[in-house]
Amino acid sequence: MAGNTFGTIFRVTTFGESHGAAIGVVVDGCPAGIPLGSEDFTAAFNTVRPSGSFETARREANIPEILSGVFEGKTLGTPIAVLLRNADARPHDYEALKNIYRPGHADFAYEAKYRRRDWRGGGRASGREAAARIAAGVIAKKVLAYCQTSYHAQYTASASLPLTIETSAIEIAGIPCEPISAADELPLEISSKLAAIKQAGDSAGAIVQCTVRNVPAGLGEPVFDKLEAELAKAVLSIGSVKGIAFGAGFQLARMAGSEANAVDKNYHGGIAGGISDGKDIVFQAVIKPVPSIAQEQIMETASGERIAYAITGRHDVCLYRRVMPVIDAMVAIVLADMMLRQGAAQILKV
């Protein structure tokens, strides 16, 4: 099965299935000498942990087991393997779906490609795989912190400000809103609508905005490996993301060149010619409604029959909050890779 590895120098490979024994990640290309321990993963996993009445009841501890690549609290420069055991898996919940293709899921597509599939919650196509990406993002941010300091010393005369990645929902269930972070309470209008959607056995989508601040100019590769192309591939590889737009996005099609080129604006999202220009990188990601809903739907079976069926189990109403740390991680992975490709690793002092 191809397509499990992302990156050029900082390379991330995830493995495992939703209701199998474990989910995990192997990160190769991390420089040696960077402090890394199990406690570094705690905050990231706490952010993505389900909470509230609009999120799945599945509770995974996500206790990281660092199997390789770290010795005496520092990276070795060798592949780092992190294992996250599935402690709250319930494969039996999906036995009734063994021969049914759920609409909006990868069930049929996987079987069409491989002539077999893991029907236990979607296998590799499950959102559970995101935990491995978040673990890789923790390592990527460690790399960024070290690389950015060296990059500024080598390429700029300015002091290095910490690079930060900020994600927030700007629309939930069709309601535009002021930016809502993963830690924020929902406005009453939105929480009421989500409650009604949940009561109806349905789900909702969202739009999440990501802003990366203090990005050094010069990151990205011209032509095929443009920075926005790599970011788009990374973010679109998240199962629930169905669209991405940088800066002013589709509004650029409605602007005159004189407006789009305004120097006091950031309509191009901090990227010009596929390379960071020193402004904030800004993009919006479209999050689709959760396809597993409690309403009865028309589905197809492996024999080609159409049946009415309602999906049971533990599912989110809207993924706006739990997808933010995954976008955060994928952006960190891209930027760490681009920073290493720029040559900052050659001047690292660790």
| 281-287/241-246 β-pairing | antiparallel
Could you tell me the end-to-end alpha-carbon distance of the chain, in angstroms, rounded to an integer?
37
Half-sphere exposure of 164 (CA within 13 A, CB side): 5
Burial (CB count within 10 angstroms: exposed 0-12, middle 13-18, buried 19+), residue 174:
exposed
pLDDT digits (tens, 9 = 90+) for 55-79: 776 666 788 999 999 999 999 999 9
DSSP state of 264: T
Q: State yes or no: pLDDT of 345 exceeds 50.
A: no
* DSSP state letters, 55-92: S-S-------EEEESEETTEE-SSPEEEEEE-SS--GG
Q: Which of the pair, 155 or 81, is modelled with greater confidence?
A: 81
Read off the pLDDT band of 51 (50, 70, 90). Answer: low
Largest separation between any pair of C-alpha atoms in the chain: 67
pLDDT of residue 106: 86
Mean pLDDT over 11-17 rounds to: 95
pLDDT digits (tens, 9 = 90+) for 183-211: 899 999 999 999 999 999 999 999 999 99
pLDDT of residue 159: 45
pLDDT digits (tens, 9 = 90+) for 161-178: 889 999 999 999 999 999
Mean pLDDT over 140-146 rounds to: 93
What angle do helix axes 320-342 and 130-155 make, rounded to 10 degrees? Answer: 40
Least confident stretch, 231-235, 307-311, 319-323, 346-350: 346-350
Read off the pLDDT band of 344 (50, 70, 90). Answer: low
pLDDT of residue 122: 76
pLDDT of residue 310: 87
pTM (2 d.p.): 0.92
